[in-house]
Structure 1
Amino acid sequence: MNFSMPWFEIPVADIERAAKFYATLFQQEFKIMEAMGMKTAFLPIDHQKEGSGGSLTQGEAYQPGSGGTIIYLQVSNSLEEALGRVKDAGGQTLLPAIKIPDGYMAHFEDSEGNRMGLYSKDA
């Protein structure tokens, strides 16, 4: 059996603040939409390539926090550059970039209090 993760949702308390945080981090705009009593901002995805997609989601059942699953988001450029934008965006670095066998990883807390990971092939 193969495992894949086609979709994930990052819980947020304030969609506008969270969209601004991730827009600053990834240097891309996030469009906020409302449907089914929730507010959502979709993370960029290349539908021509295999991979997963996800969203920032605000709703009654979505509670951000630092004690759950850590989702790693891949950056295409330098991990250090992305980490440098975390504080400016309203978050904080929890684990600085460290070398792992196939690249680099780091942890940060986003504007909503979620513990998240970053991954890059380059430091």
Structure 2
Amino acid sequence: MVGWFEIPVNDMNRAKAFYESVFNITISVHEFGALQMGWFPNDPEKSGATGSLVRHEMYKPSLTDGPLLYFSCKDVDTELSRVAGASGEVIQPKTQIGEGHGFMALIKDTEGNRIALHSQA
């Protein structure tokens, strides 16, 4: 049901570098007046929502408030291994969710947001 997500950032270049490094992707930055967006790549052949980093005075990063986004991964360990090198922090290491539900981990991005990772392996 999720069609789009937005992650608040204070420094677009710093956040862009973090997400590109952790997920091995390229984010394209677009300016819309006072609103700056860093779009995650979109592949219409794959399922799942896409979204954007957003820098604007109305968007406030938070470690505890707001929704928690789960990024799908082949193996959570791969992205976790890149977090510290991208100036982020592992909040919760890879943890088994339960029988048949895979694994998850929590990270803190460079902007202070809490983000989750999920994989079946």
Cα offsets for 1:57-111 (capped at 9, x unmatched) = 0011011011122111112x32111101011001000000011232110000000
The alpha-carbon deviation at position 18 of structure 1 amounts to: 0.2
* 1:121 to 2:120 alignment: yes
Deviations 1:23-67 (A, max 9, x none): 000111211110142111111222123321111000110110111
TM-score scaled by length of structure 2? 0.92
Corresponding residue for residue 18 of structure 2: 21
Distance 2:106 2:53 in 1: 18
Give the distance between the partners of 1:6 and 1:54, measured in 2 at CA: 8
Runs (5+) with no aligned partner, structure 1: none
Letter in 2 for 1:9: E
- In structure 2, distance between residues paired with 1:87 and 1:50: 29
Q: One-letter code of the match for 1:21? A: F
* Aligned partner letter, 1:63: K
Matched with 1:47 is: 44
Aligned residues: 118
How much identity, in percent, do the aligned residues show?
35
**Structure 1 vs Structure 2 CA RMSD:** 1.1
Structure 1 residue ranges (4+ consecutive) displaced by more than 4 angstroms after TM superposition: none
TM-score (norm 1): 0.90
- Structure 2: unaligned runs, 5 residues or longer: none
